[in-house]
Structure 1
Amino acid sequence: MPRRDFDPASVTPDGRAPAKARLFTPDGDQPWRGHVHGEAIGGECTVLTYGNDTVGMGPKLHMHPYDETFVVVAGRARFFVGDQVIEAEAGDVVFGPKGLPHRFENLGPGRLQTIDIHHSPRWLQVDL
């Protein structure tokens, strides 16, 4: 059955042009492989990519003034979001509400690779 979640006539284009930006180079070996601010491409979300091959390694505890969505592309991770611990693997999506301290780590074996979607046109962060 085809989807029809809204009436196309109710949406008016706002004049923004389609855009492209480079998020990462496939041969990069640093954990933080790149980011694209939403404002650079006319969007409302900033996209980051993170990956590492070391079990237990991950970003430091930090927080944002907006929500963040994590997409686990490869491997397994343990997310610490507020007082909850969430284990996720390739294909899973984890949501981190704004204002909650969070971090994640590679559970192994092998590479952890994520796409991190910051619900803001600009990446804003406070390391704790």
Structure 2
Amino acid sequence: MKRADFDPTTVEPDGRAPAKATLYDATGTPPWRGHVNGETLGGPVTVLTYGTDVVGQGPRLHVHPYDEAFIVTEGRARFFVGDAVIDAEAGEVVLGPKGVPHRFENLGPGRLQTIDIHHSHRWIQTDLD
């Protein structure tokens, strides 16, 4: 099905040049970890990747002043977002709304790998534990 969600003649390019940055060293050994601030690319989102082979391991409880979307690209994770507990696996996306404390952990078996989209031009975080 062909998409036509808007009229392209109504959008004026803002003059930004295309940009590229390295999120992680793909020649190294996975799991991957890294981040690229949106301001590096001249864009409004920051991209992180998080990976671990250790079951039960994940980022500490933290909060952001903006939304964060988590894309599970490999394995299974348990997300703790406010009072909600959400299990997700490769191919699924979880939203962490702004101002809501969250964390996640590898459910196993095997590797967990995520791509995390921070809806901010830079990574801003307060750890809570």
Using structure 1 for the length normalisation, give the TM-score.
0.96
Pairing 1:53–2:53 present:
yes
Q: 2-side partners of 1:28 and 1:82: how far apart?
A: 33
Percent sequence identity over matched residues? 72
Find the residue that maps to 1:44 and give its secondary structure. Answer: coil
Gaps of 5+ in 1: none
Find the residue that maps to 2:47 and give its secondary structure. Answer: strand
Q: 1-side partners of 2:23 and 2:75: how far apart?
A: 20
Deviations 1:40-99 (A, max 9, x none): 010100000000001100000000000000000000000000000000000000001000
Gaps of 5+ in 2: none
After superposition, where does 1:2-21 map in structure 2 within 5 Å?
2-21=2-21
Does structure 1 conserve the Cα–Cα contact (< 8 Å) formed by 2:31 and 2:53? Answer: no
Alpha carbon RMSD of aligned pairs, Å? 1.1
Aligned to 2:85: 85
Using structure 2 for the length normalisation, give the TM-score.
0.95
Aligned to 2:75: 75
Q: 1-side partners of 2:20 and 2:29: how far apart?
A: 19
Q: 1-side partners of 2:119 and 2:2: how far apart?
A: 29
In the alignment of these two chains, the number of paired residues is 127
Aligned to 2:126: 126
Pairing 1:105–2:123 present:
no
